[in-house]
Chains A and B, each alone.
Chain A
Amino acid sequence: MTTKAPYTAPRKPSTMLAVLTVVMAIIVVWYAGAIHLNSPQIIDRYEKKELDWSFTQLAVDSWNMKRAVLPSPHQVLVELKKTIIDKKVTSKRSLVYHASVTLSSTLLGFVLGAGLGIAFAVGIVYVQTLDKSLMPWIITSQTIPILALAPMIIVVFGALGITGVLPKSLISMYLCFFPVTVGMVKGLRSPQPMLVDLLNTYSASKWQVFWRLRLPSAVPFLFASLKVAIALSLVGAIVAELPTGGQAGLGSRLLSGSYYGQTNLIWAALIVAAVVSASLVSLVGVVERKVCLRLAGGQEVSHEH
């Protein structure tokens, strides 16, 4: 949405309306899916008890089934209320507590991954040997399934006596340095040759070219990859929590939900994870808009590059 349109554009349907329509559609499909997936068990039960049943009866029962294959939206909402609002945030059953555990390793992993990604990119752009040698390994690293790697990292670090946030955030880091490296290499190489020539005529040092030209030029590329990276970082944190066997974090809630057949809990944890992920991505988006607006000269001057 542009806020400074030079003329009043014909009114488009508001974003809110569009979002609500999609949400409604999802809910309808969800309820229909709940009937489809849960009804065989319900019908089984009816037949065992030799009850007469109508479709309405079947729908109501499949939407309120305990340990449903697919719990219906209102069951998940109840579970969310129970685990977010009714529980104290310090409780082991509170999803806020588990989300905060996951969030802390997500953020640490993101910071480490972004730092590593930028460092690799600078190395690749400035050192020719690294350009040739590092990139193939970086690409290879991303072909190893994280699900295979995560337990090994956790176990190895556990054996060394290192547990908790650090090993988990290393897995996040492993996932999220990659888009940052790729985006940043492209960004650092994005300045027009004429601008590079210009700085050469000033006999500028490599670092002067980096700070005054390459880094500011790379910022839009950096933010595009940071958005991908932070979402991946959350995925990494959740995957890392799976092999820890249900200590804490959204990943462990997903795991214990599936151990005990508590599908409500799985879905509630999934929704919390999605909300956290979307918030993180849009937070990066907000920072991006601020920084890019300033770089585009749309705001007051005060910049240190």
Chain B
Amino acid sequence: MNSATADNPIDHVVEVNEVCLDFHTKDGVVSALSDIDLNIKAGEFVSFIGPSGCGKTTLMRVLADLEKPTSGSVLVNGTSPEEARKNRAYGYVFQAPALLPWRTVQDNVLLPLEIMGYDKHRQQKLAHEYLQLVNLSGFENKYPWQLSGGMQQRVSIARALSVEPQLLFMDEPFGALDEITRDHLNDQLLRLWQQTQKTVVFVTHSIPEAVFLSSRIVVMSPRPGRIIDIIDSDLPVDRTLDIRESPEFLAIAHRVRAGLAAGHSYDD
């Protein structure tokens, strides 16, 4: 990075300016996102946290061009989200593993590589490498139904990583998992982020998860979906799960909780 100032726009992987998004439903117009301003720099780990219906997933879908904003501008890698999607600039991990049941673990990881036209040799190499990274070597020829939920989600993470995107969108990837598995995968994800220097945008409704993983936490509130607070976290890079007992961790968690409470999200 050769940025002169900390906020040089060239460093911004994601730039969101005054974005609003309304859904037109039978019961009228629902404002899913209202006046969102957000910049994300390269190498950041940014979490969107908030209660259900606060628009955190919608915001990420806007960044990934799976949803079009009603107004405002969005830039991903300096281009429109659509162009970024067409340039295959990001990997996306969904709430559910979203594996194709008729493909083996290996073939599921190969799916994006096939679609993006990587040569056969490279496909095999990348699939092998990223299955190893998520500790699934030896499961290549299993089918999704033969794996546990946590393993399936790891396959979907390997699949997203296999095309080596510099930007990773993760939509509550561990939301459906038990706490022990979730802790383990949080730890693995943090190592991965540290090793690869990727930019990660992460949606969650778990405060400990957000605080543990993120370098910045975006607190959101519903009706209309808006940003309440943006919290910088300065926890040490080489943190482990033990840090969750530390005062620094608890202080940040407290501020997140306060932000969520300020959103009045539980009153109505």
A residues touching B (Cβ–Cβ < 8 Å)? 192, 194-195, 197-204, 208, 212-213, 216, 294-298, 301, 303, 305
Q: How far is the CA of A200 from the CA of B112 in the complex (A)?
A: 10
B residues touching A (Cβ–Cβ < 8 Å)? 64-66, 85-88, 90-92, 94-96, 98, 100-104, 107, 111-112, 114-116, 141, 143-146, 163
Which chain B residue shows the least CB distance to A216? B102
Q: Contact between B101 and A297 (Cβ–Cβ < 8 Å)? A: yes
Q: Contact between B85 and A301 (Cβ–Cβ < 8 Å)? A: no
Neighbour of A197 across the interface among B91, B94, B143, B146, CB < 8 A: B94
Q: Which residues of B contact A301 (CB under 8 A)?
A: 104, 107, 141
Q: How far is the CA of A298 from the CA of B104 in the complex (A)?
A: 10
Neighbour of B102 across the interface among A192, A194, A197, A305, CB < 8 A: A305
Q: How far is the CB of B109 from chain A (nearest CB, A)?
A: 13
Q: How far is the CB of A200 from chain B (nearest CB, A)?
A: 6
Q: How far is the CA of A301 from the CA of B96 in the complex (A)?
A: 24
How many residue pairs, one in A and one in B, have C-beta atoms under 8 Å apart?
64
User: Would you call the interface of chain B mostly helix, strand, loop, or mixed?
Assistant: loop
Q: Given the interface contacts A213-B100, A296-B101, does A201 sit within 8 Å of B141 by beta carbon?
A: no
Neighbour of B85 across the interface among A195, A200, A213, CB < 8 A: A200
Q: How far is the CB of A184 from chain B (nearest CB, A)?
A: 17
Q: How far is the CA of A296 from the CA of B146 in the complex (A)?
A: 11
Q: Considering the complex of A and B, which 10 residue pairs feature the smallest CB-CB distances, nearest first?
A: A297-B143, A295-B102, A201-B92, A202-B115, A204-B115, A202-B112, A203-B86, A194-B98, A198-B98, A208-B115
Q: How far is the CA of A295 from the CA of B65 in the complex (A)?
A: 31
List 24 interface pairs A-B (beta carbons < 8 Å), by A numbering: A192-B98, A194-B96, A195-B100, A197-B66, A198-B92, A201-B64, A201-B66, A201-B90, A201-B92, A202-B88, A203-B87, A204-B115, A208-B115, A212-B114, A212-B115, A213-B100, A216-B100, A295-B102, A297-B104, A297-B146, A298-B143, A301-B104, A301-B141, A305-B102
Which chain A residue shows the least CB distance to B156? A198
Q: How far is the CB of A290 from chain B (nearest CB, A)?
A: 13
Q: A212, A213, A298 — which one has the most chain B CB atoms within 10 A of its CB?
A: A212
Q: How far is the CA of A4 from the CA of B211 in the complex (A)?
A: 47
Q: Which residues of B contact A200 (CB under 8 A)?
A: 65-66, 85
Q: How far is the CB of B141 from chain A (nearest CB, A)?
A: 6
Q: How far is the CA of A296 from the CA of B100 in the complex (A)?
A: 10
Q: How far is the CA of A200 from the CA of B92 in the complex (A)?
A: 10
Q: Which residues of B contact A197 (CB under 8 A)?
A: 66, 92, 94
